Structure 1
Amino acid sequence: MLFAIRFTDHQSEYNVRKHYLNYHLDWLKQKRGVVLAAGSLREKHNDQPVGALWVVKAEHEEEALSIFSDDPFWVHGLRASVEVLSWSLAFEDMLKD
């Protein structure tokens, strides 16, 4: 199954993002088969990130919720909240493994 995971950041914790960005990116590289797409969200192109959006492949919602438990951004308190939604592709060939 596919899930969309939407993170909202603590805006007062921007230094956490700066400090742990490379660790976070290395962590994401290790999750490539599970985290199919990931990136920061901003209100406008050059603004500070307000959160992130991931597309995740997991067997069930509980697995999707556990995927980010050791992500440096999560562990070090950047994330204020998370929303996990089941996601269906409009066309099955849009994302290829």
Structure 2
Amino acid sequence: MLFIVHFHDNETAEPDLRARYMAAHLAFLGDHKGQIQAAGPLKEQDGQIKSGLWLVDVESADAAWALVHADPFWPTGLRDRVEIKQWAQVFADGEALI
């Protein structure tokens, strides 16, 4: 099943948290490339990063939550809120999938 994981940053977190833990975060993403299909920041109109998004292919929302909690960013306080929603892809590469 495909899930979208939408992370919202904690605006009161230390400003350098993302930079300090980025190498560990990227290594984590690489280690889980079979489950985390895509990942990246969401930029505001002014270019600031205040959230991020993953597309994960796992068996359940609980499995997606397990990935979130295993991410090195999780215990740092960088994340304020996380939303996980199942995604039903109906269009890709110029073609309908249903």
Q: TM-score range by the shorter chain?
A: 0.7 to 0.9
Counterpart-to-counterpart distance in 1, 2:59 and 2:76: 27
Question: Which is greater in Rg?
Answer: 2
Give the ranges of 4+ consecutive aligned residues of structure 1 lying more than 4 Å apart after TM superposition.
none
Find the residue that maps to 2:69 and give its secondary structure.
coil
Partners of 2:93 and 2:47 in 1: CA distance: 33
Q: Which amino acid aligns with 1:26?
A: A
Q: 1 or 2, which has the higher strand percentage?
A: 2
The alignment yields a C-alpha RMSD, in angstroms, of 1.7
The TM-score normalised by the length of structure 1 is 0.86
Q: Which TM-score applies when normalising by structure 2?
A: 0.85
Where does structure 2 lack aligned partners over 5 or more consecutive residues?
none
Shift of residue 48 of structure 1? Answer: 2.4
The Cα shift of 1:93 comes to 6.9
- CA gap 1:22/1:37 in 2 versus in 1, 3 angstroms: same
C-alpha deviation, 1:12, in angstroms: 2.7
SS at 1:12 equivalent: coil
- Compared with structure 1, are the counterparts of its residues 92 and 48 closer, same or farther at alpha carbon in structure 2 (3 Å cutoff)? closer
Unmatched tracts of structure 1, length 5 or more: none
